[in-house]
């Protein structure tokens, strides 16, 4: 193999709370020769996700932790394994990506295979653990980036989290937070397709308009304009909330529980309010939880990579093809744009799935 | 009907937090004549339960609210219906009781029937809503008081809460708080009979000894002797907790979640720490809830009065008859002992099910 240069991203400082672009730095390395079983991948698209920041920064001072689905699937999460993941990613930051195989010393992969998996925030990644990779069944009618969003983690998170965790029924009242985000917008759309009444919240006027006009939400509001979330939800849900799909945690979760109907269900998908401020704790009223028999369920998309969800792809592909599901992608270009994309995610700048295109398909 | 005097309990002051005996007063009334459909019942046993204190005292200034299973069953709980229940109980405090029918203007009941249902904290109750009553199939081999505990609400709460909500498997690690209480002791015993590893916590040395020596818990500890619940649970559960049956809420719930295994389940049965101090909020770590896919489920025993639980009585009766389930009752005598029994409940004085015997069988 010829000597190849590789641009990759690293961080210059311990990140606690809101990330800044100045905390990132682009470095260049010479790629080492491939060893047995290695797969060299050229990154085409990288997914930008909010769950990179460590919960306990003091335990991860030198780098960003990243709990990617494929990692968790192979290593059920526990305290010891955080350390393992840390060591693994110490050399670079990683995330879900789509790429093309450039060279392979692994029998399972050959040149020009299109793969999805755990790739570095870099032009090239040498994948040593093939369990973090899978070959894609690409469909020429759709862009490859869809495999990071609607056909990938975001889609399956929304589908499994909504249908499997929330067990929705037609006509139920559904509330989605971060509803213009990569997962939230799909939850709302799946819920509408099932026949639920759906209200979402988001952080800009533009997003609120989009939810109502483009995605067919029954209503939506800008939470930044509301001082009292509890009474806001009471006004938007005079008949109570049956399902809350929680992407944010914090006060919104408390307010949703206070406005929940008996036998309400909360799918806890993300806690972005906690990622950037671990002081922001949730104090749900447990009296409500008991008397209203509320179920609060955390989940990870990695649990959905099973046969139980084999209808996800055909159903979703059909919906996209027929135009019933609207695909919201927010794509930046070039490895240099990753820091700004990542920062923007925590400031709610993205509309739908945030992706950085690293190279042309 | 002859003129009958009736002693009953009332409260002299709004109760917020820890109840005191001085807050109660015994009054005497003349029973009014029965109207159509009324059933006059002589109370034999009354159940003393911790869920009488209002969560929002400012909304219930003049009396104690009481959410009894039978009420909730007929009136699904919501904010409006609290007010309804309040009005209903304004004349007296009520709770689950076993009694004998003295006179009846109701076709469904006749003199000397033994009934269980919503009775006043009084010598006699005129029941106007027969839906709050049911006739008992008494079994001569067991005392009638068992219908308030092991064969009644406590037993069904433990049985349904453990088997239905927690979905336990043999060998799983189970933690029970308030484990010497009316429900907790049964949860621990059912769990042991299934083949789980069971640890309970309680508030006195005597209770801890009883859990280990009389009820067969694998271990038990006195939470009052522990300053750091989180590390205490880590020591008692080096392999993590699979199921937490929560009777107390507060810090214990936080510590249990922190020590939970992936796919752990929390059955939220009671929040006694909140009943007496509504400032005591629970702040579960939602990052744990997500990454460990924890399920937190509130429940009410009223939901278990269905055919799904028809095995509860035969199974439990067999266990009691064969001595596999130990029945823990803590019985005081006379209506005058109710205030002290109620106060004592919030101070952890009872060992097992707290009952007051009002009259001889």
Please report the DSSP string for A172-229 in residue order: -EEEESSTTBTTHHHHHHHHHHHT-EEEEEESSHHHHHHHHHTS--SEEEEGGG-S-H
Q: Which of A298, A300, A301 would best serve as a mutation to test chain B binding (most B beta carbons within 10 A)? A: A298
Residues belonging to chain A with any Cβ–Cβ distance to chain B shorter than 8 Å: 55, 67, 72, 76-78, 240, 249, 253, 261-262, 268-271, 274, 281-284, 286-300, 303
Structure tokens at B135: 């006739």
Helix (H, G, I), strand (E, B) or coil at A316: helix
Collect all residues of chain A within an 8 Å Cβ-Cβ radius of residue B268: 286, 289-290
User: What's the whole-number mean pLDDT along residues A174-191?
Assistant: 96
Whether B170 contacts B197, CB under 8 Å: no
Average pLDDT, chain B: 85
Provide the strand spans (E) within chain A: 5-11, 24-30, 39-47, 94-104, 114-120, 124-127, 133-135, 173-176, 197-202, 219-222, 241-246, 260-268, 295-298, 329-333, 353-357
Q: Which residues of A15-51 are buried (b: 16+ CB within 10 A; e: fewer)?
A: beeebeeebbeeeeeebeebeeebbbbbbbbbbbbbb
Whether B245 contacts B168, CB under 8 Å: no
**Of the candidates A210, A213, A212, the residue with the CA atom closest to the CA atom of residue A198:** A212
A2 against B182, higher pLDDT = B182
CB contact under 8 A, A298 and B295: yes
CB contact under 8 A, A294 and B298: yes
Q: Tell me how far apart the alpha carbons of residues A255 and A232 are, in angstroms, rounded to a whole number.
A: 9
Would you state the pLDDT for residue B274? 59
Using CA atoms, how far residue B162 sits from A289, B60, B190, in Å, is 17, 32, 8
Would you state the pLDDT for residue A47? 93
For B182-220, write each residue's pLDDT tens digit: 999 999 999 999 999 999 999 999 999 999 999 999 999
CB contact under 8 A, A268 and B262: no
A209 against B118, higher pLDDT = A209
pTM: 0.85
Q: Tell me how far apart the alpha carbons of residues A42 and A100 are, in angstroms, rounded to a whole number.
A: 5
Provide the strand spans (E) within B146-275: 173-176, 197-202, 219-222, 241-246, 260-268
**Of the candidates B335, B352, B166, B310, the residue with the CA atom closest to the CA atom of residue B245:** B166
Kindly tell me if the per-residue pLDDT of B65 is higher than 50: no
For residue A1, give the DSSP letter: -
Quick one: CA dihedral A280, B251, A258, A217, positive or negative?
positive
Would you state the pLDDT for residue B27? 87
Which runs of consecutive H residues, i.e. helices, occur in A224-265?
229-236, 250-258
Q: Which of A172-176, A212-216, B278-282 has the lowest mean pLDDT?
A: B278-282
Kindly tell me if the per-residue pLDDT of A56 is higher than 70: no
Collect all residues of chain A within an 8 Å Cβ-Cβ radius of residue B296: 289, 295-297
Element of type H or E holding A343: helix A338-346
In this complex, the residue of B72, B274, B288 whose CB is nearest that of residue A287 is B274
Residues belonging to chain B with any Cβ–Cβ distance to chain A shorter than 8 Å: 55, 67, 72, 76-78, 240, 249, 253, 262, 268-271, 274, 281-284, 286-300, 303
The pLDDT > 70 percentage for chain A reads 84
In this complex, the residue of A78, A286, A293 whose CB is nearest that of residue B282 is A286
Kindly tell me if the per-residue pLDDT of B71 is higher than 50: no
Collect all residues of chain A within an 8 Å Cβ-Cβ radius of residue B253: 286
Q: Which of A39-43, A184-188, B357-361 has the lowest mean pLDDT?
A: B357-361
Would you state the pLDDT for residue A73? 29
């Amino acid at each position: 193999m010829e000597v190849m240069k590789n641009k990759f991203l690293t961080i210059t400082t311990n990140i606690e709370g809101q990330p800044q672009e100045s905390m990132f730095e682009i470095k260049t390395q010479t790629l080492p020769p491939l060893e047995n079983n290695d797969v060299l991948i050229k990154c085409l698209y990288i997914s930008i996700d909010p769950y990179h920041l460590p919960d306990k920064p003091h335990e991860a001072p030198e780098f960003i932790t990243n709990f990617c689905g494929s990692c968790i699937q192979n290593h059920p999460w526990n305290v010891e394994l955080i350390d393992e993941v840390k060591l693994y990613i110490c050399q670079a930051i990683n995330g879900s990506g789509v790429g093309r195989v450039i060279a392979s010393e692994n029998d399972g992969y050959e040149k020009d295979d299109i793969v999805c998996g755990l790739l570095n925030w870099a032009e090239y990644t040498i994948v040593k653990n093939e369990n973090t990779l899978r070959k894609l069944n690409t469909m020429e009618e759709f862009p490859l980036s869809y495999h990071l969003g609607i056909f990938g983690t975001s889609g399956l998170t929304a589908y499994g989290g909504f249908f499997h965790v929330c067990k929705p029924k037609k006509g139920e009242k559904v509330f989605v937070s971060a509803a213009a985000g990569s997962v939230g917008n799909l939850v709302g759309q799946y819920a509408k397709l099932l026949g639920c009444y759906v209200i979402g919240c988001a952080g800009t006027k533009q997003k609120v308009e989009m939810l109502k006009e483009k995605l067919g939400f029954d209503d939506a509001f800008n939470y930044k304009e509301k001082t009292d979330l509890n009474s806001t939800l009471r006004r938007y849900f005079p008949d109570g909330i049956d399902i809350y799909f929680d992407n944010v945690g914090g006060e919104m979760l408390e307010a949703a529980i206070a406005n929940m109907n008996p036998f309400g269900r909360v799918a806890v998908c993300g806690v972005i309010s906690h990622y950037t401020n671990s002081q922001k704790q949730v104090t749900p009223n447990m009296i409500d939880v008991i008397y209203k028999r509320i179920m609060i369920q955390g989940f990870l998309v990695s649990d959905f990579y099973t046969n139980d969800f084999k209808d996800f792809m055909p159903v979703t592909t059909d919906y996209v093809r027929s135009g019933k599901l609207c695909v919201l992608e927010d794509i930046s270009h070039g490895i240099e744009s990753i820091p700004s994309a990542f920062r923007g995610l925590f400031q709610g700048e993205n509309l739908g799935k945030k992706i950085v295109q690293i190279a042309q398909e």
